[in-house]
Amino acid sequence: MTSRLSAIALNTFREAVRDRVLYNLIIFVFLLVASAPLFSQISIDVERLILVNVGLSAISLFGVIIAIFIGIGLVSKEIEKRTLYTILSRPVRRWEFIAGKYCGLMMTLLVNAALMTVGFMIAVMITSHGLKAQDMHLLVAVYFTVLEFMVVTALTLLFSSFSSPIFSAILSFSLFAIGTFSLDLRNFAASAHGITKMFALAAAYLVPNLASLNVIAQVAHDQPVGGALVLYNTLYTVLYSAAVTAGAVLIFERRNLK
Amino acid sequence: MHAIEIQDLSKDYAVGFWKKTLRPALKGLSLTVESGETFGFLGPNGAGKTTTLKLLMGIIFPTAGSATVLGKSVHDPEVKKRIGFLPEQPYFYDYLSAPELLSYYAQLSGVPPAGRKERINSLLERVGLGDVGNKQLRKFSKGMLQRVGIAQAIVHEPEVVFLDEPMSGLDPLGRHEIREMIQGLKDAGKTIFFSTHILSDAEALCDRVAVIHKGELRGVGVVNDLRAATGGTSEVIWQNAQVLTAVSSLVMEPHVSADTVRVTVSRENLDPLLEKLRQQSATLISVTPLHGTLEDYFLSKTSEPEKEGAAV
Ligand SMILES: Nc1ncnc2c1ncn2[C@@H]1O[C@H](COP(=O)(O)OP(=O)(O)O)[C@@H](O)[C@H]1O
Ligand SMILES: [Mg+2]
């Protein structure tokens, strides 16, 4: 089982690496991060604030874009090009295929985020003339971003297991956008009444809680991130993405492939 | 135990915008294929050949009926370790090289890492791709891809090999090479199930054939029997026009041009005619069976009206 799953994951990773789009994005982010210090000549503090905001947001946004654009094709491309025939005629369970694809894309995103983080940390070091203890929190923010990738990848895979690539992309981006404002939804649910409250509550808990995964503004102002939040986010992400991926598997298991 | 056993297998595709209309593509197919047999699955385009193979590979699910391969469900991973499949007009991950692709598939089929590399190299050698190196598959010709296709179907040394139209879309040389490869598998004792609409390929390779048309099985037969039953005539050409009078009772439609004679001869009269020609020292130019005999069988089976009550 593990050898088949890892073979599928590695092949997914290899495809992404051999796809030049990925390199373009990485280069773009490097340019962005490198040019951030030019924004401000006012003071080191403002400069750093901008750099952290821009850098971390870019790592998150580019990762999410890659997750969605590769994610929507992970299953549909293999169906469309019929490469799946040569996979499913082997002793590969359908859930292994989905899980392998998930891991492969996560691997891609991790490597991508790691490269960007290295570039980002170097930029931070240059602007602040060295690293401080608080800069550890920047890495916590990056960790949360990776958790965000896990959620978005799972959702994209779920959508792509039953709908067309374009529709999957629309659904994924919408849910990403709504998820970013999930706190507002929860607040609304708390203040609503009756049937509206029920619907708002249901929506608030179904929609991914991406808001609590975003601590960029906080760390940009050198505010620490609590251990409780790290634990909560980790557990939440593992459970949420496992449930969503299980849904994708359930749909895919029953599917007749063209 | 049969190598392949198909029982009352039916498949309706849901078509239309709301997927409400059902279009039957396979109607109650029952077939058995014995171990070691080379079985040809014949039918015109749209007959339901690919549908049957996809059902046998567990890629789609039947509307009714069932199928077993090597005595077990087609969804059993243990069975899938022992079968190989070449899809119709296959496409492979074009960013990989041939050794990378085969290594990936070998891993998925559970080929142990020890000796995997050697196995892949010798396999590439065997399908005539020994010199491709690390070239990506996107640079491969159609014929080369089909060879990669055969290689991926047998990389794990399966007992039963399923091939969907393995020769279609290839030039005559490519077809010949694929035919040789299938013959090699046959000689190695594999059970082979292949679909085709090219009759001469089936005739050259198969022990038995089935004819399917509009999703219905129209006939199953041993190739040699079919050949005998349809009793093909042959065209014989020789040089030496004088001999014609001596054999005129044996032949039909004689045509003479200069010293060359072309005649049609029935199956029974072929041997006596050749005997006479030899006695008279005529120079034999060619003996050609007229009409592929399977073709007659095929045409007679596909022109029959649909069976009563078979349609849903
Ligand atoms: N995914 C599908 N959806 C709807 N109809 C299909 C699908 N695949 C095949 N068909 C139809 O089923 C019939 C049999 O197709 P197929 O099995 O591909 O035939 P063959 O391989 O013998 O050419 C055809 O009429 C074809 O149009
Ligand atoms: Mg077909």
**What pLDDT, on a 0 to 100 scale, did the predictor assign at position B310?**
39
For each of the domains in chain B, give its residue range(s) and CATH number, in order of start.
4-228 (3.40.50.300), 233-290 (3.30.70.260)
Q: Nearest by CB to B59, which of A4, A11, A88?
A: A88
Question: Ligand 1: does its nearest atom lie under 6 Å from the Cβ of B51?
Answer: yes
A86 closest CB neighbour out of B54, B78, B105: B105
B49 Cβ inside 6 Å of ligand 1: yes
- Using alpha carbons, list the distances in angstroms from residue A52 to A28, A114, A182: 17, 16, 23
- β B191-196/B38-42 pair status: parallel
Beta bridge partners of B22: B14
Q: Which residue has the higher pLDDT, B100 or A38?
A: B100
Residues of B in contact with A15 (CB under 8 A): 93, 95
Q: Which ligand is nearest to the CA of B44?
A: 1
Q: Do A86 and B83 touch (CB under 8 A)?
A: no
pLDDT value of position A21: 59
For residues A5-28, give the mean pLDDT: 83
Q: Cα(B41) to centroid of ligand 2, in Å?
A: 11
- Residues in chain B closer than 8 A to A3 (CB atoms): 107, 110
CA of B44 to the centre of ligand 1 (A): 12
Residue with the smallest CA separation from ligand 1 atom 12 is B25
Residues B51, B53, B56, B60, CA torsion sign: negative
Cβ pair B57:A85 closer than 8 A: yes
Cα separation, A35 vs A32, whole angstroms: 5
Amino acid in the structure at residue A230: V
pLDDT tens sequence across A98-130: 999 999 999 999 998 998 898 888 888 887 888
pLDDT of residue B51: 96
Give A237-249 pLDDT, tens digit per residue: 999 999 999 999 9
Give the integer Cα–Cα distance in Å for B209 and B294. 9
Q: Which ligand is nearest to the CA of A79?
A: 1
Tokens 């179904």 correspond to what residue? A206
Q: Is A55 or B227 the better-scoring residue by pLDDT?
A: A55
- Other CB atoms within a 10 A radius of the CB of residue B223 amount to 20
pTM of the full structure: 0.85
Is B219 within 8 Å of B307 (Cβ atoms)? no
Distance B44 CA to ligand 2 centre (A): 9
Supply the pLDDT for residue A88: 94
pLDDT-wise least confident of A55-59, A145-149, A165-169: A55-59
The complex's ipTM works out to 0.88
Choosing from B10, B21, B23, B42 the residue with most ligand 1 atoms within 8 A of its CB, the one to mutate for a pocket test is: B23
pLDDT of residue A141: 95
With a CB-CB cutoff of 8 Å, which residues 62-101 of chain A face chain B? Answer: 81-93
Q: Which residue has the higher pLDDT, A184 or B237?
A: B237
Tell how strand B64-69 and strand B72-73 pair up: antiparallel
Query: Is the distance from the beta carbon of residue B50 to the nearest atom of ligand 1 less than 6 Å?
Result: yes
Supply the pLDDT for residue B307. Answer: 53
Chain A environment of B108 (Cβ under 8 Å): 4, 7-8, 87, 90-92
Chain B residues whose beta carbon lies within 8 Å of the beta carbon of residue A93: 77
Which pLDDT band, with edges at 50, 70 and 90, does A132 fall under?
A: confident
CB contact under 8 A, A84 and B60: no
The closest residue, in CA terms, to atom 16 on ligand 1 is B48
Cα dihedral angle (A75, A78, A82, A86), rounded to 10 degrees? -100
DSSP assignment string, B169-193: T--HHHHHHHHHHHHHHHHTT-EEE
pLDDT at A36: 59
The residue whose CA has the least distance to atom 9 of ligand 1 is B51
Q: Does A2 touch chain B (CB under 8 A)?
A: no
Least CA distance to A254: which residue of chain B?
A: B61
Chain B residues with CB under 8 Å of A4 CB are 107-108, 110
- What pLDDT is attached to residue B309? 42
Dihedral (Cα; B162, B167, B168, B173), 10-degree rounding: 170
pLDDT values of chain B reduced to their tens digit, one per residue, 312 residues: 899 999 999 999 988 888 888 999 999 999 999 999 999 999 988 999 999 999 999 999 999 999 999 999 999 999 999 999 999 988 899 999 999 999 999 999 999 999 899 999 999 999 989 888 899 999 999 889 999 999 999 999 999 999 999 988 888 888 898 999 999 999 999 999 999 988 788 888 999 999 999 999 988 888 777 666 656 678 899 998 888 888 888 888 889 998 899 998 888 888 999 999 999 889 999 888 765 556 667 777 777 666 544 333
Q: Which domain holds residue A192?
A: 2-254
Of A7, A88, A89, the CB nearest to B104: A7
Q: Look at chain A and report how many structural domains it folds into.
A: 1
Residue A31: per-residue pLDDT: 65
CA–CA distance, A58 with A145 (Å, rounded to integer): 10
The secondary element (H helix, E strand) that includes residue B7 is strand B4-15
**Best residue of B86, B102, B108 to probe chain A, by most A CBs closer than 10 Å:** B108
Residues 227-256 of A with CB under 8 A from B: 254, 256
Instruction: Tell me how far the alpha carbon of residue B145 lies from the centroid of ligand 2, in angstroms.
Output: 18
